């Protein structure tokens, strides 16, 4: 039957083919191949998620202590991300807007966020000036970037997601050379924190200054960077990336933070504060086999993170608050613990030592447009971890389909063992335009 349909289709086209005519001179319109000054695009996404809840976990008690959600709960995420640019002469304007609508046990909620919106001026090929909201993407790590001093942290569970930037003013100066040093660039950045501008960057009423120096030296990418100004404690960093072979790359980052202040509690809820210099660093590899299997492996040392004892004290305080609520109905301790969880206790990877491994296989068994992957994030301090198998299919034009499951495994008073859910299953359908 398919062959008959094909023959009928070809026969119908044959009636539309004109009779032979004398050869004519070939012409084309330059406007058809000329680069357009504008670009519009983005994606629309639907992402339903099913969570299997863990009633004994600390973060479950914080979130659901005054309600009964049963053994599972759902979340429905809908995202429309739009981006566009326009170029004229030496100027270019770019904007990326994220519109999110989601439904959870709390009902419907929506938010529109300007991820990026800036104006670029390029008076010469070696000099670019930017002003506006922008992500700078400092660092060479895949899952973590300890030297990303002027960016928001990635989600290591999905590090490729676009991030909201900060309002900055920056320059980018580039020069090329002959010899061992091939390229040099200098990127100074100003980050103002006043009023509503960059209010979540750090302490207000400060004008912060950062800079990055880039060198391509002996086929190795090297960056030196720093941040100072008062909104955050001063910090200095370096990173590198080098291809040992065409399919084997190593990378690393090192950050030094001066006079870092860390607040933590004991199991009774008493607040303490320490201050000192801390080091954070990352070392990783990326390896592509002949069968197109990609391995990404990273070790991350979070010098500003909590120790195992400090996290156990927080979880113990949550249990104490929950017991008080069950016996007296007083939720004051739980509300205080919930406030702490909104900060670093409930943040991504709050402890000190982590391993990351991602294995992905392109088109196994010759299944076109199909890529399965497995991601493992391991907390070396308390031996808890997350394990996420997933499968992505891109066989339909402009459509990406992903099925992903994540299991959170850990004992009592461990990071992943005290998450609000034991596992989750999600489907993501993303259409690009």
Q: What is the pLDDT of residues 195-231, one digit of tens each?
A: 999 999 999 999 999 999 999 999 999 999 999 999 9
Higher per-residue confidence, 28 vs 83: 83
Residue 17 in any domain: the answer is: no
pTM here is 0.89
Residue 88 in any domain: the answer is: yes
Residue 19 in any domain: the answer is: no
Structural contact between residues 150 and 210, judged by C-beta atoms closer than 8 angstroms = yes
pLDDT at residue number 29: 57
Higher per-residue confidence, 84 vs 7: 84
Residue 298's CB: how many other CB atoms inside 10 A?
23
DSSP letters spanning 372-424:
EEEEEEEETTT--EEEEEEEEEEEETTEEEEEEEEEEE--TTSTTTTSSEEEE
Distances (CA, A) of 161 to 82, 88, 138, 148, 259: 14, 29, 15, 15, 31
Distances (CA, A) of 377 to 51, 92, 148, 358, 364: 19, 39, 20, 9, 24
Distances (CA, A) of 406 to 344, 377, 421: 22, 11, 10
How long is the chain? 433
Segment 136-145 shows an average pLDDT of 98
Closest of 66, 33, 64 to residue 51, by C-alpha:
64
Domain that holds residue 301: 38-432
pLDDT interval class at 18 (50, 70, 90): very low
Residue 21 in any domain: the answer is: no
Residue 108 in any domain: the answer is: yes
pLDDT interval class at 31 (50, 70, 90): low
Residue 417 in any domain: the answer is: yes
DSSP letters spanning 242-308:
EEEETTEEEEEEEEEEEEEEEEEE-TT--EEEEEEEEEEEEEEEEEE-TT-EEEEEEEEE-TTSBPH
Residue 14 in any domain: the answer is: no
pLDDT interval class at 7 (50, 70, 90): very low
Domain holding 124: CATH number? 2.40.160.100
Q: What is the pLDDT of residues 65-114, one digit of tens each?
A: 998 888 999 999 999 999 999 999 999 999 999 999 999 999 999 999 99
pLDDT at residue number 35: 76
Residue 2 in any domain: the answer is: no
What is the four-CA torsion angle of 325, 329, 333, 335, rounded to 10 degrees? Answer: 110
**Is 3 a residue whose pLDDT tops 70?**
no
In total, how many domains does the chain have? 1
User: How far is residue 430's CA from residue 433's CA, in Å, rounded to a whole number?
Assistant: 10
Q: What is the pLDDT of residues 38-65, one digit of tens each?
A: 999 999 999 999 999 999 999 999 999 9
């Amino acid at each position: 039957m398919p062959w008959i349909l094909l023959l009928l289709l070809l026969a119908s086209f044959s009636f539309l083919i004109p009779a032979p005519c004398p050869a004519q001179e070939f012409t084309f319109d330059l406007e058809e191949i000329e680069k357009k000054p504008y670009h519009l695009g983005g994606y629309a996404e639907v992402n339903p998620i099913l969570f299997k809840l863990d009633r004994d976990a600390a973060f479950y008690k914080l979130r659901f202590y005054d309600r009964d959600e049963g053994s599972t709960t759902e979340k429905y995420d809908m995202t429309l991300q739009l981006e566009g640019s326009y170029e004229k002469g030496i100027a270019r304007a770019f904007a990326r807007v994220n519109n999110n609508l989601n439904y959870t046990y709390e009902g419907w909620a929506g938010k529109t966020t300007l991820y990026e919106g800036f104006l670029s001026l390029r008076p010469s090929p070696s000099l670019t000036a930017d002003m506006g909201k922008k992500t700078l993407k400092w660092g060479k790590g895949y899952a973590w970037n300890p030297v990303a001093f002027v960016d928001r942290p990635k989600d290591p569970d999905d590090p490729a997601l676009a991030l909201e930037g900060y309002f900055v003013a920056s320059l980018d100066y580039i020069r090329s050379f002959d010899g061992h040093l091939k390229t040099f660039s200098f990127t100074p950045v100003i980050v103002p924190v006043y009023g509503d501008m960059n209010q979540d960057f750090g302490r207000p009423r400060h004008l912060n200054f950062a800079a990055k120096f880039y060198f391509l030296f002996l086929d190795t990418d090297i960056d030196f960077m720093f941040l100072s100004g008062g909104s955050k404690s001063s910090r200095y960093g370096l990173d590198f990336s080098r291809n040992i072979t065409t399919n084997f790359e190593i990378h690393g980052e090192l950050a030094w933070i001066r006079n870092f202040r860390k607040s933590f509690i004991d199991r009774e809820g008493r607040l303490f504060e320490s201050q000192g210099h801390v080091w954070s660093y990352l070392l990783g590899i990326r390896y592509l086999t002949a069968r197109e299997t990609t391995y990404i492996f990273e070790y991350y040392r979070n010098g500003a993170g909590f120790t195992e004892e400090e996290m156990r004290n927080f979880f113990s305080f949550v249990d104490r608050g929950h017991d008080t609520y069950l016996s007296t109905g007083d939720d004051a301790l739980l509300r205080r613990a919930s406030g702490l969880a909104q900060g670093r206790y409930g943040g991504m990877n709050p402890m000190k030592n982590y391993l990351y491994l991602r294995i992905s296989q392109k088109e196994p068994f010759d299944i076109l447009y199909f890529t399965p992957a497995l991601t493992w994030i391991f907390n070396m301090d308390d031996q808890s971890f997350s394990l996420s198998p997933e499968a992505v299919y891109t066989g339909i034009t402009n459509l990406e389909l992903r099925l992903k499951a994540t299991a959170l495994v850990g004992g009592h008073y461990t990071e992943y063992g005290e998450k609000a859910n034991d596992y989750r299953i999600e489907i993501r359908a993303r259409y690009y335009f």
